[in-house]
Structure 1
Amino acid sequence: MNRLPIEKRAQIIGLLVEGMSMRAVTRMVGCSINTVTKLLEEVGFACNMYQSEHLRNLPCKRVQCDEIWAFCYSKEKNVSREDKGVLGHGDVWTWTAIDAESKLIVSYQVGKRDAEYAQMFMADVAGRLANRVQLTTDGHAPYLQAVGDAFGSEIDYAMLVKHYGAGSVTDQRRYSPAHLIATELRPINGNPDAKHISTSYVERQNLTMRMGMRRFTRLTNGFSKKVENLEHAVSLHFMHYNFCRVHKSLRVTPAMEAGLTDHVWTLEEVAALAD
């Protein structure tokens, strides 16, 4: 099979990480949808393997975690009876953990929003850290057991619980966020510093994901048909975010700030990972 030149592969990757749909990419670069899909699979898999291997022994001090919603194949309400509960049909959640100082995405996981995936996610986060950290999550109940099992007593952990009310205009509730009534700080374990109990950075990362991946755009027809492709897109996105994209406030990439690399990666370097 003919292989695209590295420059062409880098061009396709650049368009994908800037939020362009796969069909739009094919029109822009003049190649088939199968070529773009194949490249996403190869590079996404390589990015996942690279980050799994190299994002280790991280000297983080404060970590924030959250989950972001998307869907595969169809909306949850349209999933057939035989496919109910099967990952890849309906709601799919991406778990993320961000270092509040370097803005590095420490860990991510695509799956369900249940206790089983919470356990796997927090175990992965714990396995990447070099020292005791202060951890903040939202009020999602499965975190309680998952954090305890993963860290034991070696964690300063707190939940930031947000209480929302109904919107003032009922027929626009679908398009507007609910009204925030109050926030509650809940220390769970250790001695978390109250002024650092926050999920602001990880929630801002949710916006970056929705802007950078067409599959996460709300009210879209650009959703993933297969959960594997969603996983590849997420891996590519975080590889680009961690290693290629200069953070506006840091003036370097998160990976450089965390000491994982000494330069801004090019798209050609990302494309070459699949080789």
Structure 2
Amino acid sequence: MVKSVKPTASSPPQAAKQPSTNRSPAEVQDRRLIQWGGIAGLAGVAAFIGTVAVVVGLGLPAADDPETLTDFANIEGGRIAEHFFYLAALILFALHLLVLHRLLRPAHTAAALFGTAIAEIGLVIMAASSVLHVSTAPMADLYTASDTPPEDLAAIEYAWHGAQSIFDTMLATGVLLVPIGIILLGVAMWIAPGFGVRLGLVAMVLGVAGLIGAAWEIVDTASDVSAAAVLSIVVFHLISGWRTLKLSNETRIDLSTIERPG
């Protein structure tokens, strides 16, 4: 009778059986791209919240308030922080849009391409108007300098208002374009398997609301309705960014089809 031999302490341990994954290198890269896109969208929302927190927390005046010029030395640090948070949010939103284009292109090539292009142009224009303190700082130095003649103060104020109007024009243009892009992206989301009718409808509603708010302020420059347009942009990236991040955890990922797990 043959006795079974028990493994001794010196016997090499058996290798643990590792679960096999059938992910190709291309799928791994696609999954990483989608994950980064979702993170970018949500991080952009966080950066925008940081912008609001700086303004509210430090009690900063409105950008077109004369106090921004006359008291710039005391609010310069807060204003710079506000602008950099805002610029970071726009950059992250732009990165998220590029990933959305990759995700939505198989469902509706035209809507995904045109929507991304228009929204990206709008974000670029908004970014160009984001660092207003760069033009305010030298004029504020002149305004508060002890050797500045009193009769020159009015001219400096006029120059500051002129610079402010240029930045306002760029902001209004960008805020008008981005919702148009969101509407087109919503059309693509409507028929994209990874997004669906509900999310597509929400995106289109947000885009329409933002477009109305932006157009209203262009017609009536004294109103502040464009804040609704900016809010719609942020909410869109919050919702679509979260969905994009969830897509990176789907069982099957193929950027040419974007299928849900069966």
TM-score between both structures, scaled by the size of structure 1? 0.28
Task: Give the structure with higher Rg (CA).
Answer: 2
Q: Which structure carries more helix by proportion?
A: 2
